[in-house]
Amino acid sequence: MSVNGSGPAISTMSGVMRQKQPETYVLRLKAVAGDLNIKQLKRIARVARRYAKGEVHLSTRQGIEIHHIHRDNLEIALKELREAGVELGASGTRVRVIVACPGEQVCKWGVFDTKRIAGTLDSNYFNRETPSKFKMAVAGCSHNCTKANENDIGIRGAIEPAWKAQDCCDCRLCIKKCPVSSIGRLETEDGGYRYETDRDTCINCSVCTMHCPGEAWYVARKGHNLFIGGTMGKIPRFATPLKKMVESEKELFLLIEESMAVYRKYARNRERFGHMIDRIGIEKVKEEILAVTLVKVKKRTAEDARLDRKIPESAVESG
């Protein structure tokens, strides 16, 4: 059975899964960052009513599944969904639908536009084949609502706080509020004081900058903390930080691109990214990803400069 008489059988497509009941299937639907419009929701409801049991299931990855569709109704159900712009999600050894929180568009804690980043990741990677299932999550801040550290690739919004002595009332509220005890108060030689953060333990969460009554703590930089190798399932593993405070989106996407390249290079069949990392060593993985990305960043920066100044390509290469 195929759509319009061509292509693979619907029952074998990514996003279509066989149920335990004979001749019965699940349609896993795509909702990037959990977003669907009213037209799509109405069509999903209609298809569920006509061809299933009139109910849907909300998945843990912000998607919708329609259960109990008989094999004979798969083609018409999928046709009607596509007419409303509803696409199938992914299953098997592929990149799954990208999850994301609302981000700075809605949330006061959001550091960046999560929906736009999720959309780019979707365009670049969704449904691509990988050695095992591959999941990505985008969280707008360190509250980590989309559980970035439980995904193969996790992006988390980050800020770097800085302190201004002239605006500080020395209330020590920042020390009390810091969730990881990263802020300290130091006496100075002139009888004064200063506050500082431990860069190694700081989780870039913006609690200090949000709660400081005198705005002595302020956001010095915004960026992304990138994590690799998270997974749940039978052998859970929290993701490993790859790089903190990635300010450039260009660098962020290059790091993700190279992370996936390293995964494809070293992973065994059906081996999750994090388990591959544990097998060959995190230092080897990080070194390869960061080194190759640095070269690519420099090359693209040079190319951008050449385009801006209209410098001949030969001049950039010779330099």
pLDDT tens readout for residues 156-183: 999 999 999 999 999 999 999 999 999 9
Q: Are residues 76 and 108 in the same domain?
A: no
Q: Are residues 196 and 279 in the same domain?
A: yes
* pLDDT over threshold 50, residue 6: no
Q: Are residues 35 and 155 in the same domain?
A: no
* pLDDT over threshold 70, residue 254: yes
Query: Could you give phi then psi for residue 282, rounded to 5 degrees?
Result: -65, -35
The size of the chain, in residues, is 319
Q: Are residues 211 and 260 in the same domain?
A: yes
Q: How many domains does the chain have?
A: 2
Q: Are residues 174 and 214 in the same domain?
A: yes
The answer to whether 228 and 259 have CB atoms below 8 angstroms apart is yes
Q: Are residues 191 and 289 in the same domain?
A: yes
Neighbours of 174 (CB within 10 A): 24
* pLDDT over threshold 80, residue 198: yes
- Find the distance separating the first CA and the last CA of the chain, reported in whole Å: 58
Residue 184 domain flag: yes
Q: Are residues 143 and 267 in the same domain?
A: yes
Q: Are residues 57 and 120 in the same domain?
A: no
Q: Are residues 79 and 108 in the same domain?
A: no
Final residue before a domain boundary, out of 48, 83, 118: 83
Amino acid letter for position 194 = R
Where in the sequence is the domain holding 173, given as residue range(s)?
99-309
Final residue before a domain boundary, out of 27, 49, 83: 83
Q: Is the pTM of this model over 0.85?
A: yes
The CATH number of the domain holding residue 38 is 3.30.70.3340
